[in-house]
Amino acid sequence: MSKRMIATIVALAVSAGGSLAQEVKVGVVLPYTGVGAEFAQQMDRGLELYLKLNADQVKPYTITLIKRDSKAPNGAEAKVVVQELLTQNKVDAIAGFSYSPDAIASAPTISAGKKLAVITNAGTSFITNLSPDFVRTSFTMWHSGYAMGVAAAKTLHAKTAVVAYTDYPPGKDSLDAFKNAFEANGGKVIDAIPAGGPGAVPDFTPFFQRTKDEKPDVLYVFVPAGDHALAVVKTYAALGMRAAGIKLIGPGDIVQDIKLQGMGDAAVGLVTMLHYYADLDNPQNQRFVAAWKKEYGADSTPDFMAVGAYDGMAAIVHAVRATKGTMDGEDAVKSLLGWTFDSPQGPIMIDPETRDIVMNEYLSEVVKGPDGKLHEKVLSEIDHVKDECKAQAIGPCAPKK
């Protein structure tokens, strides 16, 4: 058969609405191995669970996930697999990116491929400015960091803070966000301590000892969740910092739901800001957590990464339906501008100007429940929070002219 004949048959099948037209291929880029493997599992499960629970929404299309490992959190492998997915697998969309360097390094390739790319975790604010094809359903470090800066000054009445942060783009972003809001509300950041990188968990002792000597009211910490977070809470306890009058606060990344029970009593009393905790009390979340436990085991729990992916798949399914399965990149992105969704985290929207998420933030405290387990108790809620870095057009967050 000649190439021309094959092309004609394919075209006929497509125009007749045959199975070829119905398959939408989504490339999934996550760190399935290495330090981020647990994050990949959470996001992979979030993507799959949305598809399973919403099979009716997906019909008549079939969504095929093509999964690739982005490995170490430095962007090198992510960029390669994004290129392969777009040029060899010819995917219709990309989803994933656990770590900011993975999304940053892939941005030029994404732009060249002209396909929708949904960020389901990477939180550095300016990432969405790097490609018109990025839409983010996760968060930015400014959502939590800025809101926590306000709360530290106004709710916790802190006057001084030390910030310790993992030294890569989202860490710097979280520092800037917290400092901007805390100082605008009368506080003072007296020290900012780079505390290792995302690849290996550092010993936090020297950073926290320095903080203890400086005696701030609060220590605000950003680390990329996971075992970093576990080490933060253990070191804070080991150095007796609470007894020394220093409150540990941060974005909810430092009390990631999958790590919370492992933190033990050292975590009780920690106050954090985030858009999602598995304990959130709303009907969508109750259904989501119950479905998760049914699917993945009674002892498993979703966390903010799982929700970023669940919402990300909801966004992709919306785009598939809106474009009638063509998934033309520009049309797919356009279909998501102003898109709203009743997420387990509460109502979310994609800001039509920035392609970033607008969502609620929850100030929360770790408490021990009657079941003997640790829980997140919501202290207050801030609705419809936008990314302040873009709202204030700070540095690389300013829109490209």
Q: State the nearest-atom distance from the C-beta of 359 to ligand PHB, in Å.
A: 15
Q: State the nearest-atom distance from the C-beta of 124 to ligand PHB, in Å.
A: 5
- Cβ closest to ligand PHB, residue 174 vs residue 335: 174
- Cβ closest to ligand PHB, residue 167 vs residue 214: 167
- Spatial neighbors of 8 by CB under 8 A, at least 6 apart, are none
Q: State the nearest-atom distance from the C-beta of 320 to ligand PHB, in Å.
A: 26
- Cβ closest to ligand PHB, residue 335 vs residue 364: 364
CB neighbour class for 375 (10 Å; exposed up to 12, middle 13-18, buried from 19): middle
- Cβ closest to ligand PHB, residue 141 vs residue 327: 141
Q: State the nearest-atom distance from the C-beta of 86 to ligand PHB, in Å.
A: 22
- Other C-beta atoms lying within 10 Å of the C-beta of residue 160: 16
- Cβ closest to ligand PHB, residue 276 vs residue 288: 276
- Spatial neighbors of 267 by CB under 8 A, at least 6 apart, are 233, 255, 260, 366, 374
Q: State the nearest-atom distance from the C-beta of 343 to ligand PHB, in Å.
A: 18
- Cβ closest to ligand PHB, residue 224 vs residue 325: 224
Structure tokens at 339: 């898109």
Q: State the nearest-atom distance from the C-beta of 50 to ligand PHB, in Å.
A: 21
Q: State the nearest-atom distance from the C-beta of 323 to ligand PHB, in Å.
A: 28
Structure tokens at 125: 């604010």
- Cβ closest to ligand PHB, residue 258 vs residue 333: 258
The 8-class DSSP code of residue 240 comes to T
Q: How far is CA 261 from CA 238, 291, 333, in A?
A: 17, 20, 39
- H or E element at residue 346: strand 346-350
Q: State the nearest-atom distance from the C-beta of 392 to ligand PHB, in Å.
A: 20
Q: State the nearest-atom distance from the C-beta of 362 to ligand PHB, in Å.
A: 16
- Cβ closest to ligand PHB, residue 218 vs residue 274: 274
Structure tokens at 353: 């100007």
- Cβ closest to ligand PHB, residue 138 vs residue 335: 138
Which residues contribute to the site for ligand PHB (CB under 6 A)?
99-100, 121-124, 170, 224-225, 253
User: Cβ(335)–Cβ(72) under 8 Å?
Assistant: no
Residue-wise DSSP of 262-321: HHGGGGTT-EEEES--TT--SHHHHHHHHHHHHHH-TT----HHHHHHHHHHHHHHHHHH
Handedness of CA 208, 214, 215, 218 (dihedral sign): negative
User: Cβ(220)–Cβ(250) under 8 Å?
Assistant: yes
Radius of gyration of the chain (CA): 21
Residue nearest to ligand PHB (CB): 224
Strand order in the sheet with 23-30: 62-69, 23-30, 93-96, 116-119, 134-136
Phi first, then psi, for residue 188 (nearest 5°) are: -140, 125
- Cβ closest to ligand PHB, residue 132 vs residue 199: 199
Instruction: Give the three-class secondary structure for 93.
Output: strand
Q: State the nearest-atom distance from the C-beta of 170 to ligand PHB, in Å.
A: 4
User: Cβ(72)–Cβ(34) under 8 Å?
Assistant: yes
